[in-house]
């Protein structure tokens, strides 16, 4: 059988080894993948590049969009990994650019934009994360082709990367930074909708809106019950 991700058993023939041995190897490989993702996530934490809540929320949203699209487990796993590690390449950027509170200069912006390629360079070296590395490489592409690094357009942007782009932008709009207050959920959603078809895949925005709507409902219910 010559299909699927070789790291997840796609190229192994179960008849060549005992089923138990096959399952044991698959489990070992899955554990290795999980360990690699955890270790790299810890690096992001050590570098103070995100908070646990940010990543959990973003990953959960991305997976829910993937599930609404009916994606297979392999792809969901890649999306989960990419949601956690999409900014891993920022580790290669100087702190004075990374944590600059004000507006970046043109040169600094150019450097900052390198983070998706740096991330791809790191993750592609890990066999189980080859697919994830492509989602990381393209997570700043725009649906109309104006993004980076490839200037890819529409469906040429990997689906997982289009999903990560939407949830990452939404999460960034909600998050309070040292230099600005986070936006209310309704306003962030309005801005996302405004960029559907230009920056973002309109279908992903539409699906995400359904999820955000139900989250809004839960939040307002919690606020009512706490009052």
Query: CB 209 → Fe ion: shortest distance, Å?
Result: 22
Tell me whether residue 80 or residue 87 sits nearer to Fe ion (CB atom).
87
Residue 78 found at the interface with Fe ion (CB under 5 A): no
Smallest separation, CB 166 to Fe ion (Å): 13
Q: Which range of residues in 19-27, 68-76, 87-95, 96-104 is near Fe ion by CB under 5 A?
A: 87-95
Smaller CB distance to Fe ion: residue 87 or 201? 87
Count of Cβ atoms closer than 10 Å to residue 111 Cβ: 16
CB neighbour list of residue 178: distance below 8 Å, 6 or more residues apart: 101
Q: Tell me: does residue 87 bind Fe ion (CB under 5 A).
A: yes
**Phi, psi angle pair for 199, to nearest 5°:** -80, -35
If the CB atoms of residues 167 and 196 are measured against Fe ion, the closer one turns out to be: 167
Residue in the shown chain whose Cβ atom is closest to Fe ion: 87
Taking CB under 5 A as the binding criterion, the range among 80-88, 127-135, 179-187, 197-205 that sits at the site for Fe ion is: 80-88
Query: Are 173 and 188 contacting, i.e. CB atoms less than 8 angstroms apart?
Result: yes
Can you spell out the DSSP letters for 147-189? Answer: -SSS---GGGS-HHHHHHHHHHHHHHHHS-BTTBPPPPHHHHH
Please count the residues of this chain forming the interface with Fe ion, following the rule CB under 5 A: 1
Smallest distance, Å, CB 225 to Fe ion?
Answer: 36
Reference 99, options 178, 176, 174; nearest CA is 178
Q: Which helix (H) or strand (E) holds 76?
A: helix 73-85
Supply φ then ψ for residue 177, to 5 degrees: -110, 170
Q: Which stretch binds Fe ion (CB under 5 A): 48-56, 76-84, 85-93, 193-201?
A: 85-93
Angle (nearest 5°) at CA 124 between 91 and 15? 140
From 15-23, 33-41, 57-65, 83-91, span contacting Fe ion (CB under 5 A): 83-91
Question: What is the per-residue binding string for Fe ion in 38-77, x denoting contact by CB under 5 A?
Answer: ----------------------------------------
- State which H helix or E strand residue 74 sits in: helix 73-85
Determine, following the binding rule CB under 5 A, whether residue 80 of this chain makes contact with Fe ion. no
Residue 130 sits at the vertex; the CA angle it makes with 124 and 136, to the nearest 5 degrees, is 75
Binding stretches for Fe ion (CB under 5 A)? 87
């Amino acid at each position: 059988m010559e299909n699927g991700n070789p790291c997840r058993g796609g190229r192994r023939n179960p008849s060549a080894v005992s089923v138990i041995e096959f399952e044991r190897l698959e489990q070992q490989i899955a554990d290795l993948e999980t360990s690699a993702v955890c270790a790299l996530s810890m690096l992001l934490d050590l570098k103070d590049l995100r908070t646990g809540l940010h990543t959990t929320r973003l990953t959960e949203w991305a997976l829910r969009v993937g599930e609404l699209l009916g994606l297979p487990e392999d792809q969901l796993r890649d999306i989960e990994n990419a949601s956690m590690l999409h900014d891993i390449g920022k580790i290669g950027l100087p702190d004075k650019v990374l944590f600059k509170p004000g507006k970046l200069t043109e040169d600094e912006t150019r450097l900052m934009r390198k983070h998706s390629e740096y991330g791809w360079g790191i993750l592609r070296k890990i066999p189980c994360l080859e697919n994830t590395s492509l989602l990381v490489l393209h997570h700043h592409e725009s649906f109309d082709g104006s993004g980076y690094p490839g200037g890819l357009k529409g469906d040429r942007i990997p689906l997982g990367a289009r999903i990560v782009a939407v949830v990452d932008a939404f999460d960034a709009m909600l998050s309070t930074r040292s230099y600005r207050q986070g936006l209310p959920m309704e306003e962030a959603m309005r801005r996302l909708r405004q960029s559907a078809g230009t920056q973002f895949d309109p279908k992903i925005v539409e699906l995400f809106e359904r999820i955000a709507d139900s989250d809004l409902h839960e939040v307002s219910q919690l606020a009512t019950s706490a009052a």
